[in-house]
Copies of this chain bind each other. A is one copy, B any other.
């Protein structure tokens, strides 16, 4: 059984390929711009500068038939089931990123920091973080 996930925006970032990208957002990510489709304008309306958000992306350059990986691409480590890792390669390549809003150039664009996603990565959801919870 399958569901259809809609692309609601795109990441604009200087990161062009996986070799350039840090493994996690806080490991040296450059600033990025999130550009949303006009259809989701109202869903963005309460976001403020300084907000910490969860950004969900669709990692369209990942491999969907990989079930086991070497964690962090370190071949000295044994193979792990992907569900015990943060590997982008997995059956549904959903990316989860914690970002902070740096500026809001207009109603459809958010500048954020700490985002390791590649340029043109599709955005599929945004959620509030839950205070005090480590997700």
Q: How far is the CA of A84 from the CA of B127 in the complex (A)?
A: 6
Q: How far is the CA of A62 from the CA of B83 in the complex (A)?
A: 25
Q: Judging by beta carbons under 8 Å apart, are B6 and A135 in contact?
A: no
Q: Which range contains the number of A residues in contact with the other chain? A: 35 or more
Q: Which residue of B lies closest to A58 (CB)?
A: B3
Interface SS of A by simple majority: mixed
A53 at the interface (CB under 8 A from B): yes
Knowing A47-B81, A135-B98, the reply to whether A40 touches B60 (Cβ < 8 A) is no
Q: How far is the CA of A85 from the CA of B46 in the complex (A)?
A: 9
A113 at the interface (CB under 8 A from B): no
Interfacial chain B residues near A6, Cβ < 8 Å? 1-2, 91-92
Q: Judging by beta carbons under 8 Å apart, are A5 and B92 in contact?
A: yes
Q: Judging by beta carbons under 8 Å apart, are A122 and B92 in contact?
A: no
Q: How far is the CA of A17 from the CA of B134 in the complex (A)?
A: 26
Q: Choose among B7, B26, B81, B96 the residue that contacts A45 (Cβ–Cβ < 8 A).
A: B81
CB distance from A48 to the nearest CB of B (A): 8
- Other A-B contacts than A43-B81, A54-B135, 13 sampled, CB-CB below 8 A, are A2-B6, A5-B94, A41-B67, A43-B68, A43-B82, A44-B83, A46-B80, A46-B84, A46-B85, A47-B83, A54-B96, A92-B125, A94-B124
